[in-house]
């Protein structure tokens, strides 16, 4: 049996005066004495359908029920799209039998995040939630598109590893047959191996941090946008690459999703290409001068990140700043030193008050890596499989990682990173 041809709602304009079949969810419903107005929504848009009330009254239609409607497309200037569907026949594809706390058309601004997550499929049909993930998908698409145009190859690497990439203890241990293994904190080592073979590589995938945070900006599983590039001279080249990358992503979002962005933020996304770069020690001096901060030593806290973005915006008009030269002792062992004063060739990008990127230049000679490990009390032999690679012609290289959920949350001015995570995993949540 051949199924009838379905027309997506977004394509109905070309079917004026024709009979069509559509499928979607009931988004809004208004029943009058003689006429019932049914707003149906699918992945491409929504349309008003008009039915004789007597013909649908016994069906007891409910919001969010999936339906199939056969009808005729008729011009109607009063309707949003300039047309509506005159219903000939309607079928309910599945009944809504569960009492839900909200509908896809509801104002859910006062609904708690736990309730929204518990009813995730339903909340995704609500524009205020569904639009978040449309923007997130566009960020991911444009990240890939830009790097492909710059001769980067996308790689896919394992998330089951034998040890931590950063030599830390914040690892999720898993039983791997007769021995222990861990969920990857980062694809860093694999990215570096990719550079040794392909020069320019990127990966998008989940990473795992067993850190007992319970904050609005941390997750134990998040989606990382990683890149690594070979034959660099300094980390400033990586910073410039990220400026161009984010400028590309932001420009496309401003052009193609302005109608959605304006629901979340007052201004278009800024021109990151003009964001300043400040040395870490310079940042401490600025924080002391403007905010009387003297409590920071080897890192920035969330309040300092907000304060530095505030200063950057007041001085340059861009609410973002690259901070470079963090103390070497506070960065992973593979980080390249910056001069001889204990600083590192490592940077963070602070965007609208939140750190969204960590990157820098890496050590590329085996003897330097062995010394760095020894200085931290880590036996180089424990990283032998990785160190062997640096005897095979590894060029100077660097890279960065961007947390997709955190970037999405900043772009859309969301107060909690879980709002930009389809199924969050944190210290307390492992469902749905």
Over residues 104-133, the mean pLDDT reads 96
Does pLDDT of 192 surpass 70?
yes
Q: What is the pLDDT of residues 356-384, one digit of tens each?
A: 999 999 999 999 999 999 999 999 998 99
106 exposure class (CB count in 10 Å sphere: 0-12, 13-18, 19+): middle
- SS3 of residue 286 by DSSP: helix
* Among 327, 323, 238, CA closest to 276: 323
Over residues 6-28, the mean pLDDT reads 92
What's the confidence (pLDDT) of residue 68?
Answer: 98
Residues 6+ apart with CB under 8 A from 175: 181
pLDDT band at 165 (very low <50, low <70, confident <90, very high): low
Give CA–CA dist 422/432, Å, rounded: 10
Q: What is the pLDDT of residues 317-339, one digit of tens each?
A: 999 999 999 999 999 999 999 99
Q: Which domains does the chain have, with CATH numbers?
A: 9-92 (2.40.50.140), 124-420 (3.30.930.10)
pLDDT band at 149 (very low <50, low <70, confident <90, very high): very high
Instruction: List, as one string, the DSSP characters of 67-79.
Output: EEEEEEEEE-TTS
Q: What is the pLDDT of residues 46-82, one digit of tens each?
A: 999 999 999 999 999 999 999 999 999 999 888 778 8
Residue 245's H or E segment, with its range, is helix 235-256
Number of H helices, E strands in the chain: 12, 18
């Amino acid at each position: 049996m051949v199924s009838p041809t379905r027309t997506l709602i977004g394509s109905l304009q070309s079917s004026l005066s024709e009979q069509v079949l559509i499928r979607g969810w009931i988004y809004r419903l208004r029943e009058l004495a003689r006429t019932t107005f049914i707003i149906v929504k699918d992945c491409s848009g929504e349309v008003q359908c008009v039915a004789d009330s007597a013909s649908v009254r016994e069906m007891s239609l409910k919001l969010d029920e999936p339906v199939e409607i056969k009808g005729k497309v008729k011009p109607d200037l009063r309707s949003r799209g300039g047309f509506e569907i005159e219903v000939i026949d309607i079928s309910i594809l599945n009944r809504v039998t569960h009492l839900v706390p909200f509908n896809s058309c509801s104002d859910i601004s006062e609904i708690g995040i736990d309730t929204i997550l518990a009813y995730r499929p339903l909340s995704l049909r609500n524009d205020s939630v569904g639009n978040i993930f449309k923007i997130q998908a566009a960020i991911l698409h444009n990240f890939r598109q830009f790097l492909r145009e710059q001769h980067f190859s996308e790689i896919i690497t394992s998330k089951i590893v034998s040890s931590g990439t950063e030599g830390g203890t914040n690892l999720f241990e898993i039983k791997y047959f007769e021995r222990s293994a861990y969920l990857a904190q980062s694809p860093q080592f694999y990215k570096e191996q990719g550079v040794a073979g392909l020069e320019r590589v990127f990966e998008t995938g989940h990473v795992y941090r067993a850190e007992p945070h319970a904050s609005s900006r941390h997750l134990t599983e998040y989606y990382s946008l990683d890149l690594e590039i070979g034959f660099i001279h300094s980390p400033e080249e990586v910073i410039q690459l990220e400026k161009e990358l984010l400028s590309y992503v932001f420009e496309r979002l401003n052009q193609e999703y302005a109608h959605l962005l304006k629901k979340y933020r007052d201004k278009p996304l800024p021109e990151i290409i003009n964001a300043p770069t400040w040395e870490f020690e310079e940042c401490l001096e600025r924080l002391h001068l403007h905010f009387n901060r003297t409590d920071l030593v080897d890192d920035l806290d969330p309040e300092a990140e907000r304060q530095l973005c505030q200063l950057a915006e007041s001085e340059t008009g861009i609410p973002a700043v690259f901070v470079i030269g963090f103390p070497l002792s506070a960065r992973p062992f593979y980080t390249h030193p910056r001069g001889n004063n204990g600083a590192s060739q490592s940077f963070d990008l602070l965007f609208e008050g939140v750190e969204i990127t960590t990157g820098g230049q890496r050590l590329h000679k085996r003897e330097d890596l062995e010394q760095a490990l020894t200085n931290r009390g880590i036996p180089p032999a424990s990283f032998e499989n990785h160190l062997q690679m640096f005897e095979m012609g590894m060029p100077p290289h660097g890279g960065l990682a961007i947390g997709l959920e955190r970037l999405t949350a900043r772009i859309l001015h969301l107060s909690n990173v879980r709002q930009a995570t389809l199924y969050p995993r944190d210290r307390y949540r492992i469902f749905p």
